[in-house]
Amino acid sequence: MKKGCKYVKDSQIEMTELVLPNDTNQLGNLLGGRLMHWMDIAAAVAAQRHTNRICVTAAVDQLSFHHPIKLGEIVRLKASVNRAFNTSLEVGVKVIAENQLTGEAKIANRAYFTFVALDENHNKVEVCPIIPQTKEEKRRYKEALIRRKRRLELDKLSR
Protein backbone atom coordinates (compact mmCIF):
# COMPACT_ATOMS: atom_id res chain seq x y z
CA MET A 1 0.00 0.00 0.00
CA LYS A 2 1.24 3.49 -0.86
CA LYS A 3 2.01 5.82 2.03
CA GLY A 4 -1.07 7.76 3.11
CA CYS A 5 -3.49 5.52 1.24
CA LYS A 6 -6.31 3.63 2.89
CA TYR A 7 -8.44 0.66 1.90
CA VAL A 8 -12.21 0.99 1.54
CA LYS A 9 -12.80 -1.46 4.41
CA ASP A 10 -10.85 0.80 6.80
CA SER A 11 -13.61 3.42 6.88
CA GLN A 12 -16.80 1.44 6.24
CA ILE A 13 -19.47 1.80 8.88
CA GLU A 14 -22.86 0.35 9.69
CA MET A 15 -25.33 2.27 11.82
CA THR A 16 -28.61 0.88 13.17
CA GLU A 17 -31.74 2.82 14.10
CA LEU A 18 -35.21 1.81 15.29
CA VAL A 19 -38.16 3.70 13.76
CA LEU A 20 -40.11 5.15 16.69
CA PRO A 21 -43.42 7.08 16.64
CA ASN A 22 -41.61 10.42 16.82
CA ASP A 23 -39.76 9.52 13.58
CA THR A 24 -42.91 8.97 11.49
CA ASN A 25 -45.48 10.89 9.48
CA GLN A 26 -49.30 10.51 9.68
CA LEU A 27 -49.10 7.29 7.62
CA GLY A 28 -46.72 5.62 10.08
CA ASN A 29 -43.81 5.88 7.64
CA LEU A 30 -40.35 7.15 8.51
CA LEU A 31 -40.03 10.85 7.73
CA GLY A 32 -37.80 11.48 4.72
CA GLY A 33 -35.97 14.25 6.55
CA ARG A 34 -35.20 11.98 9.50
CA LEU A 35 -33.79 9.34 7.16
CA MET A 36 -31.70 11.94 5.34
CA HIS A 37 -30.35 13.07 8.72
CA TRP A 38 -29.35 9.50 9.61
CA MET A 39 -27.79 8.98 6.18
CA ASP A 40 -25.76 12.19 6.51
CA ILE A 41 -24.45 11.09 9.91
CA ALA A 42 -23.46 7.64 8.62
CA ALA A 43 -21.72 9.17 5.61
CA ALA A 44 -19.92 11.76 7.76
CA VAL A 45 -18.59 9.08 10.10
CA ALA A 46 -17.18 7.10 7.15
CA ALA A 47 -15.65 10.26 5.64
CA GLN A 48 -14.07 11.28 8.94
CA ARG A 49 -12.78 7.76 9.52
CA HIS A 50 -11.06 7.91 6.13
CA THR A 51 -9.60 11.41 6.50
CA ASN A 52 -9.09 11.69 10.26
CA ARG A 53 -10.47 15.20 9.80
CA ILE A 54 -13.71 17.08 10.30
CA CYS A 55 -15.69 16.60 7.09
CA VAL A 56 -18.63 18.71 5.96
CA THR A 57 -21.37 17.79 3.52
CA ALA A 58 -20.92 19.50 0.14
CA ALA A 59 -23.51 17.67 -1.99
CA VAL A 60 -25.99 14.81 -2.05
CA ASP A 61 -26.65 12.95 -5.30
CA GLN A 62 -29.29 10.46 -6.34
CA LEU A 63 -31.19 10.27 -3.09
CA SER A 64 -33.96 7.84 -3.93
CA PHE A 65 -36.84 6.59 -1.81
CA HIS A 66 -37.59 3.10 -3.15
CA HIS A 67 -39.81 1.76 -0.35
CA PRO A 68 -41.47 3.32 2.69
CA ILE A 69 -39.96 2.38 6.03
CA LYS A 70 -42.60 1.61 8.64
CA LEU A 71 -42.95 2.34 12.34
CA GLY A 72 -41.16 -0.37 14.34
CA GLU A 73 -38.80 -1.41 11.57
CA ILE A 74 -35.04 -1.55 12.01
CA VAL A 75 -33.01 0.66 9.69
CA ARG A 76 -29.45 -0.37 8.83
CA LEU A 77 -27.34 2.30 7.13
CA LYS A 78 -24.17 1.12 5.42
CA ALA A 79 -21.70 3.84 4.44
CA SER A 80 -18.55 3.40 2.43
CA VAL A 81 -16.04 5.78 0.85
CA ASN A 82 -16.24 5.21 -2.90
CA ARG A 83 -13.46 7.53 -3.99
CA ALA A 84 -11.24 10.30 -2.68
CA PHE A 85 -10.41 13.28 -4.88
CA ASN A 86 -8.23 16.26 -3.97
CA THR A 87 -10.00 17.77 -0.94
CA SER A 88 -13.29 15.92 -1.30
CA LEU A 89 -14.54 12.38 -1.19
CA GLU A 90 -17.67 10.53 -2.19
CA VAL A 91 -19.44 8.28 0.31
CA GLY A 92 -22.17 5.89 -0.77
CA VAL A 93 -24.94 5.08 1.69
CA LYS A 94 -27.27 2.10 1.37
CA VAL A 95 -30.34 1.88 3.61
CA ILE A 96 -31.84 -1.50 4.48
CA ALA A 97 -35.20 -1.69 6.26
CA GLU A 98 -35.90 -4.83 8.29
CA ASN A 99 -39.21 -6.01 9.67
CA GLN A 100 -38.23 -8.01 12.74
CA LEU A 101 -41.62 -9.74 12.95
CA THR A 102 -41.50 -11.19 9.42
CA GLY A 103 -37.75 -11.23 8.85
CA GLU A 104 -38.22 -9.34 5.57
CA ALA A 105 -35.40 -6.98 4.62
CA LYS A 106 -35.38 -4.61 1.66
CA ILE A 107 -33.13 -1.92 0.25
CA ALA A 108 -35.20 1.17 0.90
CA ASN A 109 -32.84 3.98 -0.10
CA ARG A 110 -29.47 4.86 -1.59
CA ALA A 111 -27.55 8.10 -2.01
CA TYR A 112 -24.11 9.51 -2.69
CA PHE A 113 -22.72 12.18 -0.39
CA THR A 114 -19.77 14.43 -1.19
CA PHE A 115 -17.74 15.67 1.75
CA VAL A 116 -14.92 18.17 2.04
CA ALA A 117 -12.20 17.65 4.65
CA LEU A 118 -11.22 20.64 6.80
CA ASP A 119 -8.19 21.49 8.91
CA GLU A 120 -8.17 23.13 12.35
CA ASN A 121 -8.79 26.55 10.76
CA HIS A 122 -11.73 25.26 8.68
CA ASN A 123 -9.73 25.37 5.43
CA LYS A 124 -9.98 22.60 2.86
CA VAL A 125 -7.19 20.03 3.07
CA GLU A 126 -6.05 17.24 0.79
CA VAL A 127 -7.41 13.80 1.53
CA CYS A 128 -5.54 10.54 1.25
CA PRO A 129 -6.34 8.27 -1.70
CA ILE A 130 -8.48 5.18 -1.31
CA ILE A 131 -7.58 1.77 -2.67
CA PRO A 132 -10.49 -0.32 -3.92
CA GLN A 133 -9.81 -4.06 -3.67
CA THR A 134 -12.96 -5.99 -4.54
CA LYS A 135 -14.79 -5.99 -7.86
CA GLU A 136 -17.67 -4.06 -6.23
CA GLU A 137 -15.32 -1.46 -4.71
CA LYS A 138 -13.62 -0.97 -8.10
CA ARG A 139 -17.00 -0.49 -9.79
CA ARG A 140 -18.06 2.11 -7.20
CA TYR A 141 -14.65 3.83 -7.52
CA LYS A 142 -15.06 4.15 -11.29
CA GLU A 143 -18.69 5.32 -11.09
CA ALA A 144 -17.80 7.96 -8.47
CA LEU A 145 -15.68 9.79 -11.03
CA ILE A 146 -18.59 9.78 -13.50
CA ARG A 147 -20.93 11.22 -10.86
CA ARG A 148 -18.34 13.86 -9.91
CA LYS A 149 -17.96 15.02 -13.52
CA ARG A 150 -21.75 15.20 -13.88
CA ARG A 151 -22.09 17.11 -10.60
CA LEU A 152 -19.39 19.63 -11.60
CA GLU A 153 -21.05 20.16 -14.99
CA LEU A 154 -24.44 20.77 -13.38
CA ASP A 155 -22.83 23.14 -10.89
CA LYS A 156 -21.22 25.08 -13.74
CA LEU A 157 -24.58 25.34 -15.55
CA SER A 158 -26.38 26.64 -12.45
CA ARG A 159 -24.01 29.60 -11.98
Helices (H), 3-116: 32-51
pLDDT at 3: 58
pLDDT at 157 over 90: no
The domain in which residue 12 lies consists of: 6-157
The total of structural domains in the chain comes to 1
For the chain, what's the residue count? 159
- Is 63 inside a domain boundary? yes
User: Around 150, how many Cα atoms within 13 Å sit in the side-chain half-sphere?
Assistant: 11
Q: Residue 129's domain is classified under what CATH number?
A: 3.10.129.10
CB 91 within 8 A of CB 81: yes
Q: What is the pLDDT of residue 106?
A: 96
How far apart, in whole angstroms, are the C-alpha atoms of residue 3 and residue 105? 40
In a domain, 1, yes or no: no
Strands (E), the chain: 6-7, 13-18, 54-65, 74-84, 88-98, 105-118, 130-131
Tens-place pLDDT, residues 32-51: 999 999 999 999 999 999 99
Reply yes or no on whether the pLDDT at 1 is more than 60.
Answer: no
